[in-house]
Structure 1
């Protein structure tokens, strides 16, 4: 079984309360830590990688993002999905080629740019082109930014999800959706749903699964949690000087 087939299989048959949990490595070292802890797959966060490279979220040059993803993929033997924001303006064929060259088996693609939502029909057409270029070689996670950049209407999120699934998305990601609307989203969306989780505080992955999550990712949360731990270590080190 190929890595992308294994990754797809991890999304199938998930029981309520047992979502696929995908930690977000920001470099090769963190990727190895998550794999050694027993996680079967990973999902890189664009904001976490941006922070590790010294950029603000959304400001990482495409070449540096793909290079960072490639380093993560080379460091581990489990499937890795890559957050490549809104595709960096690349044509679908080139985007797919660069993801595959980096070693990724999946991608996270946003439906907003510059803080504004894209037209859902135009975005769905673009996703269909990505799907066509990728064939079955990539697992496409279509992020829905209604709750992050829009009016937070769950019905609009469901409408966008339907368009993206019809275009060939394997999973949809209504980022920032309040936990209270997750059952409604679950009832109205076909296929896997990615839900944003917090590494500490807030609902656990199990609880998110019971509310409808097929898989749980953490965005830059783990990188920021690690930075807080490092701050504590740095403070202790200063005390010894």
Structure 2
């Protein structure tokens, strides 16, 4: 089965998003066979705000660090870190990955869909096998946040070669269903409040990404553990040190062997 095949199973698969090696290893230990990255988690863990093309170099390093893992890997490359489609394609060519997310916004504003489509086309021309998940940021930014504009943009990216369409925060059931009906490619969402994975599948969603949820949950859990010690409360559940260390030892051996 290929990474492409995961999007055509008749129901959604969950793509957890990692921000470093230990988070990716945790997902593998839970049986996930494909892992994405989260631009927010990557930038935040480096002490930088999300966006602003801050994760360009960090993603090169992270993709290389995760290359030895036995799983499919998809990387969130923000807007491709350039307004030049060929430069975006050259950047992607550095990454040992199976798929990517590329946004149609820069600096929290939607860009001309023709430019976003040109980036998609350049990537696919350079590497026809990579899964390009074109992210439509209409709902994410609250800009042209309606099915008509979202579908128009999505179809432009499909025509340019996109293999999937990502519509984060399209959380209205009827609007999401309309988008899915009119986009001739697998549609990816974030978790939608009030809808189960099965219900999203009934609407036609092919993939559900965790986005930055796991990263933010990890920060919450870390603070909760510290509060528990301070306040004399029971410690929250955690993975034993020996298990975490064992994962890293195995990862180091595998990385040196590849």
Task: Give the TM bin, normalised by the shorter chain.
Answer: 0.7 to 0.9
Change beyond 3 A, Cα 1:61–1:214: closer
Alignment of 1:17-96 (within 5 A): 18-59=11-52, 60-74=54-68, 76-89=69-82, 91-96=84-89
Q: Which segment is superposed worse, 25-34 or 177-186? A: 177-186
TM-score, length basis structure 2 = 0.82
Answering whether residue 107 of structure 2 is matched by residue 104 of structure 1, we say no
Which residue is 1:192 aligned to?
A: 186
Answering whether residue 167 of structure 2 is matched by residue 174 of structure 1, we say yes
Alpha-carbon separation, structure 1, partners of 2:221 and 2:214? 11
Whichever of the two has the greater Rg, that structure is 2
TM-score, length basis structure 1 = 0.88
Q: Is the 8 A contact 1:50 1:57 kept in 2?
A: yes
Q: Is the 8 A contact 2:17 2:211 kept in 1?
A: yes
State which of 6, 19, 22 in structure 2 corresponds to 1:10. 6
Q: How far off its partner does 1:10 sit? A: 1.1
Which residue is 1:143 aligned to?
A: 135
Change beyond 3 A, Cα 1:231–1:43: same
State which of 214, 218, 222 in structure 1 corresponds to 2:210. 218
Stretches of structure 2 lacking an aligned partner (at least 5 in a row) = 233-258
Alpha-carbon separation, structure 2, partners of 1:233 and 1:7? 36
Alpha-carbon separation, structure 1, partners of 2:118 and 2:93? 21
Stretches of structure 1 lacking an aligned partner (at least 5 in a row) = none
1:43-95 deviation per Cα after TM superposition (whole angstroms, max 9, x unaligned): 11101111122111114241123212322333x21011000100111754554
- The alignment of Structure 1 onto Structure 2 pairs a total of residues equal to 229
Which of structures 1 and 2 has the larger relative contact order (alpha carbons within 8 angstroms, sep 6+)? Answer: 1
Alignment of 1:156-175 (within 5 A): 156-175=149-168
Instruction: State the Cα RMSD in Å.
Output: 1.9
Q: How far off its partner does 1:194 sit? A: 0.5
Q: Is the 8 A contact 1:143 1:173 kept in 2?
A: yes
Q: Which segment is superposed worse, 168-177 or 144-153? A: 144-153
Q: Is the 8 A contact 2:40 2:212 kept in 1?
A: yes
Q: Is the 8 A contact 2:85 2:118 kept in 1?
A: no
